[in-house]
Chain A
Amino acid sequence: MADENVVEEEAETPAATESESAITPTELDKPLAPPKYEVRPSLGEKFQSQNVREIIVTTMQEQLMGRKYRSDQAPRWTEEIANRVRQRVQDLDMKRYKILVQCIMIEMKGAGVKCAQRCMWDPETDDYVGDLFRNETIYCYTVAYGIYMY
Chain B
Amino acid sequence: MAQEDDEEDLTFNVDEVQQIVRDNVELCLGGNAYSHSRTPQWITIITEKTLARLNKLNKPYKYIMRITITQKNGSGLHTAAAYYWDIATDGTCTVRWENKYMYCIVNIWALALQI
CA distance A90 to B77 in the complex (A): 27
Check if A81 sits within 8 Å of B69, measured CB to CB: no
Interface size range of chain B in the complex: 35 or more
Q: Which of B39, B66, B115 has the most CB of A within 10 A?
A: B66
A114 interfacial contact with B, CB 8 Å = yes
CA distance A17 to B38 in the complex (A): 65
B18 interfacial contact with A, CB 8 Å = no
Given contacts A104-B68, A105-B79, A109-B74, contact A99 B85 (CB under 8 A): yes
B62 interfacial contact with A, CB 8 Å = yes
Which listed residue, B44, B51, B71, B84, touches A120 by the CB 8 Å rule? B51
Interface set, chain A 79-102, CB cutoff 8 A to B = 79, 81-83, 85-86, 89-90, 98-102
Interface-lining segment among B5-13, B19-27, B106-114: B106-114
B14 interfacial contact with A, CB 8 Å = no
On chain A, the number of residues with a Cβ less than 8 Å from chain B's Cβ atoms is 46
A115 interfacial contact with B, CB 8 Å = yes
B30 interfacial contact with A, CB 8 Å = no
Check if A102 sits within 8 Å of B84, measured CB to CB: no
Output the nearest chain B residue to A140 by Cβ-Cβ distance: B78
Which listed residue, A99, A117, A122, A150, touches B66 by the CB 8 Å rule? A117
**Residue interface mask B30-51, A partner, CB < 8 A = 1:** 0000101001100110011001
- Report B-chain residues with C-beta under 8 Å of the C-beta of A145: 64, 109
B90 CB to closest chain A CB, in angstroms? Answer: 7
CA distance A113 to B86 in the complex (A): 32
Interface set, chain A 114-150, CB cutoff 8 A to B = 114-122, 126, 128, 143, 145, 147, 149-150
Output the nearest chain A residue to B85 by Cβ-Cβ distance: A98
Given contacts A116-B66, A119-B63, A120-B63, contact A100 B83 (CB under 8 A): yes
Check if B83 sits within 8 Å of A116, measured CB to CB: no
**Residue interface mask B71-115, A partner, CB < 8 A = 1:** 111111111111111100010000000000000000101010111
A71 interfacial contact with B, CB 8 Å = yes
A67 CB to closest chain B CB, in angstroms? Answer: 13
Contacts from A to B (Cβ < 8 Å):
69, 71, 74-75, 77-79, 81-83, 85-86, 89-90, 98-122, 126, 128, 143, 145, 147, 149-150
Contacts from B to A (Cβ < 8 Å):
34, 36, 39-40, 43-44, 47-48, 51, 54-55, 62-86, 90, 107, 109, 111, 113-115
